[in-house]
């Protein structure tokens, strides 16, 4: 079972007073990044898929309620089929849980392009978001011209989850092409090898497809979601990236890009982000065991 410490945004009222000071210190949504939570798919039962997503920052990881309107584009890809969703029905009493029908056990690729949104961000927030992912020496030059006034930033977020449900990747006959298929998301991290077949110590290769706007100011990293071990990655000219994953468990690959806009959308800057979550199994023991 994948363990992850998260904060449910629907904390009961009797606890709100205890958390009041903590809430004051939480980052704004402008400083957060959306990603899928590693799923325990078997708990949803046969023919079903349960999804959760979070917003995380350096200070918190919060489960988010699923929107029922303005969903954007969410899809579930299985062997031979893809289900697209433009409307959702979260659990009435637990809106952080979403249950979707699926065809059967096996590999899945889940993707979600959130609707674009414009947020008012302070330059300090932007610098904090980027400083967590890169060094101050490599900050985008777009930040140098910002003063101390807030600026409108268009946020583009794409989430992906590559998992298996109902069959063990250790006993599956061969890697699945589902995880490596191109999804067509706005900003896409595409695996070049089925990550469910990876063992700790493997080198993982993937490719980053960017939305319109060029390849400058692209920041990439890999994060082990249990230990929070993080490492910066370099995007090669062909768009590929490579990282050696030393630890078993849930991982997130993340890419972000900041660029200046012409103001036609009402925003001065665009911050586009993409995340891919998957689980790496432990290295095989000597003699072929796990």
pLDDT value at residue 132: 85
Q: Which residues contact 115 (CB under 8 A, 6 or more apart)?
A: 70, 71, 72
Q: Which residues contact 245 (CB under 8 A, 6 or more apart)?
A: 198, 200, 201, 202, 203, 204, 222, 224, 251, 280
pLDDT value at residue 281: 86
Whole-number Å distance between alpha carbons of 39 and 99: 12
Q: What is the dihedral of CA 184, 188, 190, 196, to 10 degrees?
A: -100
pLDDT value at residue 236: 93
pLDDT in tens, 52-110: 999 998 778 999 999 988 899 999 998 888 989 888 888 888 999 998 888 777 888 99
DSSP string, 126-154: HHHHHHTTS-GGG--GGGTT--SS-EEEE
Q: Which residues contact 251 (CB under 8 A, 6 or more apart)?
A: 195, 222, 223, 224, 225, 245, 277, 278, 279, 280
Hey, is 33 helix, strand or coil?
strand
* pTM assigned to the model: 0.85
Q: Which helix (H) or strand (E) holds 179?
A: none
Whole-number Å distance between alpha carbons of 50 and 44: 6
pLDDT value at residue 7: 47
pLDDT value at residue 255: 96
Within the chain, which residues score under 70 in pLDDT? 1-30, 39-46, 135-139, 145, 166-173, 264, 286-290
């Amino acid at each position: 079972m994948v363990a992850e410490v998260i904060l449910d945004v629907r904390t009961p009222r009797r606890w709100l007073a205890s958390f009041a000071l903590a809430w004051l210190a939480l980052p704004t949504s402008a400083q957060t990044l959306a990603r899928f939570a590693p799923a325990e798919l078997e708990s949803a039962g046969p023919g079903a898929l349960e999804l959760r997503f979070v917003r995380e920052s350096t200070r918190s990881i919060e489960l988010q309620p699923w929107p029922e309107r303005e969903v954007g584009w969410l899809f579930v890809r299985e062997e031979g089929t893809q289900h697209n969703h433009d409307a959702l029905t979260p659990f009435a009493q637990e809106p952080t849980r979403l249950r979707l029908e699926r065809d059967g056990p096996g590999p899945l690729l889940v993707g979600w392009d959130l609707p674009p949104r414009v947020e008012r961000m302070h330059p300090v927030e932007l610098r904090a978001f980027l400083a967590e992912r890169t060094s101050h020496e490599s900050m985008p030059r777009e930040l140098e011209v910002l003063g101390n006034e807030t600026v409108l930033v268009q946020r583009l977020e794409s989430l992906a989850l590559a998992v298996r449900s109902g069959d063990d990747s250790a006993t599956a006959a061969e890697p699945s092409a589902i995880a490596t298929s191109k999804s067509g998301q706005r900003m896409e991290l595409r695996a070049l090898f089925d990550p469910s077949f990876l063992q700790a110590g493997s080198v993982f290769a993937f490719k980053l497809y960017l939305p319109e706007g060029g390849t400058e100011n692209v920041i990439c990293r890999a994060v082990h979601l249990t230990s929070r071990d993080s490492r910066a990655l370099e995007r090669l000219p062909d768009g590929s990236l490579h990282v050696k994953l030393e630890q078993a468990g849930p991982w997130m690959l993340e890419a972000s890009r900041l660029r200046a806009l012409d103001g036609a959308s009402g925003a001065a800057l665009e911050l586009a982000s993409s995340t891919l979550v998957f689980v790496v199994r432990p290295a095989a023991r000597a003699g072929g065991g796990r």
